[in-house]
Structure 1
Amino acid sequence: MKPLHLRVLIADDHPAVRIGIESTLRESNAVTVVGAARDSTEMMELLKLHDCQILVSDYAMPGGLHGDGITLFSLVRQRYPLLKIVVMTMLDNPGIIHSLLDIGVPCIVNKADSVSHLLPAVHAAYANGRYLSPSMAEIAARTDPGRTNTQPHATLSKRELEVVRMFVSGLTVTEIAERLHRSKKTISTQKGSAMTKLGILRDMDLVRYGMEMGLTNTSAVPPTQGLTALPWH
């Protein structure tokens, strides 16, 4: 029987993390690390150069020409449909986890979990399986009660989704209240309820989720406003 030999590409914007991932993978005789990228630009170039089977990548890698997160992994899936992807991240946002699963990335490891989960995730990815490290599995199980819609924000009410769209598009709670002719307290409550349903704790994570899910509504923002001045509080 021919021994298993996996060719893996690493992508992470932190040098120490790249070294740690490579060191862990090299513990297995079945894995060869063919390269390491620090952003999406280097990642896509290395994918052109190397015939690798598995990509182990961070979720958030700012600065690259191809972006990061869902946008990047969707592009990789489109260009390299046979490439298996393992995502490592510190983010524990249920919306992001389910979005990764929805685009066909079923192997996700939380960097806060033991590094021992990396190799099993790599092998599961190669075998077309699913592997979520303990904290990721807990979040996915807690927030996925048999969804009938693939988007996490499908659980939001019409008014909650309306508020989220306007907030993500650059409007403050006060401005949203004025435009919708509701009280500031009502808008704040609807925004908070939406964040609870999505499992999001911080405004900046809500903005990031909304942008990745295409929830921006530029018609709600006057020409002098926009995503260059996002509401962080």
Structure 2
Amino acid sequence: MNINYQHGHTSGAEGLRDKKNGTVVIMEPCPITALGIGNRLTEFCDYQKDSILQVRSLAELKPVLALHQPRLLIMELCGKSESVLDGLRLIADMHDQVPHTTLLVCTALDEPRVLRQVIASGVRGMMLKQEPAVALDHCVKQVLAGEKGFSHRIRQRGLHEAAAEKPLTARELDVLTQLFSGKSVTNVALTLCRDIRTVSTHKRNAMLKLGFHNDGELYLQGKWMAMNGPSFVR
């Protein structure tokens, strides 16, 4: 299924209400993958076609969330020309902006550090695209029942235990974004109008949460955070 959302478009809105499971939004940059997710939802999770909306980027997702307040969001961590840091920031914002939307992350990025960080940010469930399609059915049914919906592979690796960890703060995400754009700590402080010691503290705290011990590890092993693409999907 590939229902494209256009800003300001409301035709068919009546059909999106009063469905058994409410509205679901799929944020997935690959139309083929989005089609597959939509088909699983209609065939195995009791969703009707007219209750499913599909967008391809975080930028498109924001107005959809504000307008429809969906019960369920299934999302990749970023879209074309967006980064994982953008996805982490949106997930953090969702708790305040759409608190009643249940979030299930379905990602191709098999990087333990980012998966643990996403789980720490409070998502209801997570699965990897490399897993069988039946994993999606299981996770969706679990989260709609008010439970945690982590796939077998996520649990097998113990990643679901990251829920007790501390997520990156908005300031830490801002600092990381600036650092990965090529700026020094001094330039980041100037850009964000913050004291250099404050920026250094944010950087250090972010590195601790992500499990990096020095700048070399941050920039070499943490390059997935600044990926535009999503390169890991192609």
Normalised to the residue count of structure 2, the TM-score between the two structures is: 0.59
Distance 2:78 2:107 in 1: 7
- Secondary structure, aligned partner of 1:26: helix
Q: 1:52 to 1:85 in 2, by over 3 A?
A: same
Q: What is the CA distance between 1:51 and its match in structure 2?
A: 4.0
- Aligned residue in 1 for 2:222: 206
Q: Distance in 1 between matches of 2:65 and 2:163?
A: 34
Residue of structure 1 equivalent to 2:37:
21
- The answer to whether the 8 A contact 2:38-2:52 is kept is no
2:55 is the counterpart of 1:37: yes
Q: Please show how residues 116-195 of structure 1 align to structure 2 within 5 Å.
A: 116-141=134-159, 150=166, 170=182
**Deviating 4+ runs (over 4 angstroms):** 64-67, 146-149, 167-171, 201-205
Change (3 A) 1:110 1:147: closer
Give the C-alpha shift of residue 48 in structure 1.
2.9
Identity of aligned residues (%): 18
SS at match of 2:23: strand
Q: Is 1:46 equivalent to 2:46 in the alignment?
A: no
Unaligned 5+ segments in structure 1 are 153-163, 172-193, 213-233
Q: 1:37 to 1:203 in 2, by over 3 A?
A: same
- Matched residue type, 2:100: L
Tell me if the contact between 1:40 and 1:66 (Cα under 8 Å) persists in the aligned partners: no
Cα 1:97/1:106, change in 2 over 3 Å = farther
Task: Give the equivalent residue in structure 2 for 1:155.
Answer: none
The residue matched to 2:40 in structure 1 has which SS? helix
Aligned residues: 169
Whichever residue aligns with residue 136 of structure 2, its letter is L
Bigger Cα Rg: 1
Aligned CA distance change for structure 1 residues 15 and 35 (closer, same or farther; 3 Å): same
In the TM superposition, what is the alpha-carbon distance from 1:19 to its structure 2 partner?
0.9
In the alignment, the residues of structure 2 paired with residue 71 and residue 149 of structure 1 have an alpha-carbon distance, to the nearest angstrom, of 17
Q: Which residue of 2 aligns with 1:177?
A: none
